Amino acid sequence: MKKRTIGIMGAMPEEIEGVVALLTNCTKLSMGKRTYFLGQINGIDTIVVFSRWGKVAAATTATTLIHEFKITELLFTGVAGAINADLKIGDIVLGKRLIQHDMDARPLMPQYEIPLLSQTYFESDTTDLGRAAKAINTVFENKSLHAVIGYKELMEFNITQPRLVIGDIASGDQFFSRTEQKQALNTQLPNVLCVEMEGAPVAQVCYEYEVPFIIMRTISDTADDKSHIDFPFFIKNISSKYAAEIIKNIYEQF
């Protein structure tokens, strides 16, 4: 049986700070302008890395984790902008399916289809998805976030009863900061819950190498004209603690 090694990626340095703090016997290795943090969480070998922004950066990092560190599973934690009107800041989306919203090779193939793979969506592993969902719901039910994030910070975004939603996540090399962007994506891909810049290419790499993956996104902004205000504050004050608390609980499910 192959030894279990989990790779954890975050697209912002702040998103991995709290996760790195969970590592025991932590060492660092620099490679390809990235720093990989190696250690164990709950006795499981784990590599944590800041992937950098965008599709190419994320795909490069995922490939390195698979080839150099021989990971057997991958978890991506990060933030996203809400596309679905029912989502609120502080909610968490687990990606059941991932799609690149800026992939368009028409007329050679349908819009959004990945060339040569005949795939439009990449689906996450059902077992890992269920495990992550259970961990997140446990955190929400126990109000664990209130113990690690200050009341003032939570109230800044009116985070009182965050929810878990499972569904489609879209990725592309764009930061959504205009209402018309959000409306256009919602029209083109009405099932998409949220938008970010890394999940779908990571899912594609994992699909090609047959590595199970989970893409977990905390809603940090509403992907509209207010995004540039909400996003930096959320990253600085909330997202790192959010990610660490949930990942700690995911490991307790193993």
Q: Could you report the per-residue pLDDT of 85-130, keeping only the tens digit for each?
A: 999 999 999 999 999 999 999 999 999 999 999 999 999 999 999 9
Q: Please write the tens of the pLDDT for every residue from 218-235.
A: 998 887 887 766 777 787
Residues 6+ apart with CB under 8 A from 69: 5, 7, 36, 38, 47
Q: 14, 15, 91, 230: which one is catalytic?
A: 15
Mean pLDDT for 69-83 is 96
The pTM (predicted TM-score) of the whole model is 0.95
What is 5-238's CATH number? 3.40.50.1580
Residue 228's pLDDT is what? Answer: 64
Residues 6+ apart with CB under 8 A from 90: 154, 157, 158, 159, 162, 218, 219, 238
Residue 76 forms beta bridges with which residues?
Answer: 9, 215
* Residue from 158, 94, 102 nearest 128 by CA: 94
Residue 1's pLDDT is what? Answer: 61
Q: 14, 91, 221, 224: which one is catalytic?
A: 221
The identity of residue 188, as a single letter, is Q
Active site residue 128: no
* Torsion sign, CA atoms 75, 133, 204, 190: negative
Q: Indicate the domain borders of the chain.
A: 5-238
Active site residue 15: yes
Residue 224's pLDDT is what? Answer: 80
Res 77 pLDDT > 90 = yes
